[in-house]
Copies of this chain bind each other. A is one copy, B any other.
Amino acid sequence: MSQPDVIAENASQSIQEIVQAIGKRARSSSRAMAKASTEQKNQALLFMAQMIRGQTQTLKQANAKDLQRARDAGHDDAFIDRLALTDKVIETMAQGIQQIVTLQDPIGQLTPVVKRPTGIEVSQMRVPLGVIGIIYESRPNVTIDAAALCIKSGNATILRGGSEAIDSNTALAKIIQASLQKAGLPKDGVQVIETIDRAAVGAMITMTEYIDVIVPRGGKSLIARLMAESRVPMIKHLDGICHTYVDDEADITKSITVCDNAKTQRYSPCNAMETLLVHSKVATQLLLPLCKIYQDKGVELRVCRKTKAILAQSGFAGMSLLKDATEEDWTTEYLAPILSIKTVDSIDEAIDHINQYGSHHTDAIMTENLAKAARFQKEVDSASVIHNASTRFADGFEYGLGAEIGISNDKLHARGPVGLEGLTSLKYIVKGDGSIRT
């Protein structure tokens, strides 16, 4: 089993010191990144896309070492799949960068100027956050996606990918840094932490003086650990317990199509539906055909007592396959072909259930009654509230952000899918003419 090609900066330095030194360089280069013109940033990105395409072989060789170690360590096929840099993945990375080049540069935008009675003129300017830390699992394509978004938004970046992808990430880091330099930007504008020691993550999440925000990308256990320990603010979501509520005034045909899509189009995304709520008045009409579709696709259904009784009464053929939902089901994100179903007697019961058991990620209502839709959208306390469409639309590309660094369930700063703007802040710009306060 080959060893990763990792060179610690200095064997005698502790991980803490290494990461601190990286942080210091990031902070210092963040000023040049913030000043960079749109042209310079786009140039760096285009160089990066070009080099990725030109160095496909080098990247695949580095990746082969990671893949070999991952296989030796007994990782499963899904893991290997996410780790692999195939020709297709490499081309998709290059295209992703080009897509980010086409996005409008948010930096330097000004809000309308307001003239105050004192004579001062006040507006707000969009500026980078400063230094972004990205902590992610062994998916080398995230290295490129995240770096490109942070460059375009004028931030310096510290990337810490899964240790199993260390050779791939080191090779990608070389390309990113060379691209920055070719465009006249500091190479430390993007740094990859090239040590497999997991203590590096612990150092990053407490380094408030050098990192302004951390964006974790990965599974629930990673996020939960970071939430418990991080002193640096994060843009993140822990889970997506997404609901669709089918109202008694819903169009049943539309609802069947949408509920099918929300659950089965893909099982693993955070915006897939995990709980279906149905009004008792339309439960039979909706559930008879819909549950058959789910069962035909192999989706396990966990239903409340009322739902079970309704299905039994109406002679549902798949009764023997149903499971009883427990209290735990209402707070579980399956990310799998499992769906919990609850029959409710009113829109209020649906809203209360969602606000109590949901994760404030994405929830939908199916109804033809616009007043009820408006009430649901106002009262459901989630980052995305959707009317007559699949929860699967909750996504930066689908919303027109052009790209997505992640999704936030938090209420401060960016909420929902986070694009370039989420990596910026607004500062006040004030102009006077010798003005003083009296």
Q: Which residues on A are within 8 Å of B, measured CB to CB?
A: 31, 34-35, 108, 114, 116, 118, 120, 122, 125, 127, 129-130, 212-213, 233, 235, 251, 253-255, 257-258, 260-262, 265, 355, 373, 377-379, 381-390, 392-394, 398-400, 410-413, 415-417, 425-438
List the B side residues contacting A417 at CB < 8 Å: 428
Closest chain B CB from A410 CB (angstroms): 7
Q: Are B437 and A425 in contact (CB under 8 A)?
A: no
CA–CA, A412 and B120, complex, Å: 26
Distance from A270 Cβ to chain B, minimum over Cβ atoms (Å): 14
Q: Is the CB of B416 within 8 A of A413?
A: no
A430 lies within 8 A of B387 (CB):
yes
Q: A400-B122, A434-B254 are known contacts. Are A385 and B428 too (CB-CB below 8 A)?
A: yes
Distance in angstroms between the alpha carbons of A425 and B429 in the assembled complex? 22
On whether A410 and B378 interact (CB within 8 A), knowing A261-B437, A393-B118, A431-B387, the answer reads: no
Contact A385 B233 (CB under 8 A): no
A116's nearest neighbour on chain B, judged by CB, is B400
Cβ contact within 8 Å between A429 and B114: no
Question: Chain B contacts of A265 at CB under 8 A?
Answer: 436-438
Chain B: CB-nearest residue to A115: B400
Closest chain B residue to A434 by CB distance? B254
CA distance in complex: A251, B432 (Å)? 13
Q: How far, in whole Å, are A385 and B381 apart by their CA atoms in the complex?
A: 35
B-chain residues with CB within 8 Å of residue A212 when the two chains form the complex: 411-412
Whether the Cβ atoms of B427 and A388 lie closer than 8 Å is no
Beta-carbon nearest neighbor of A389 in chain B:
B432
Q: A213-B412, A435-B258, A437-B390 are in contact. Are A429 and B399 (CB under 8 A)?
A: no
Contact partner of A428 (CB less than 8 A), chosen from B129, B379, B399, B411, is: B399
- Which residues from chain B contact A261 at a C-beta distance below 8 Å? 436-437
A399 to chain B: which residues have CB within 8 Å? 114, 116, 122, 428, 430
Q: For A427, give its contact among B382, B387, B430 (CB under 8 Å).
A: B382
Q: Are A436 and B379 in contact (CB under 8 A)?
A: no
Known: A129-B411, A394-B430. 4 other contacts (CB 8 A): A31-B381, A125-B378, A392-B437, A399-B428
**A393 contacts across to B, CB distance below 8 A:** 118, 120, 430, 432, 435, 437
Q: How far is the CB of A281 from chain B (nearest CB, A)?
A: 20
Q: Which chain B residue lies CB-closest to A255?
A: B434
| C-alpha spacing A367/B390, complex, angstroms | 55
Listed from nearest, the 8 A-B pairs whose CB atoms lie closest are A389-B432, A254-B434, A261-B436, A389-B435, A392-B437, A412-B413, A384-B428, A386-B430
Within the complex, the shortest CB–CB distance from A389 to chain B, in Å, comes to 3
List residues of chain B with CB within 8 A of the CB of A386: 430-432
Pair B427/A31 contact, Cβ less than 8 Å? no
CA of A386 to CA of B433 in the docked complex: distance in angstroms? 11
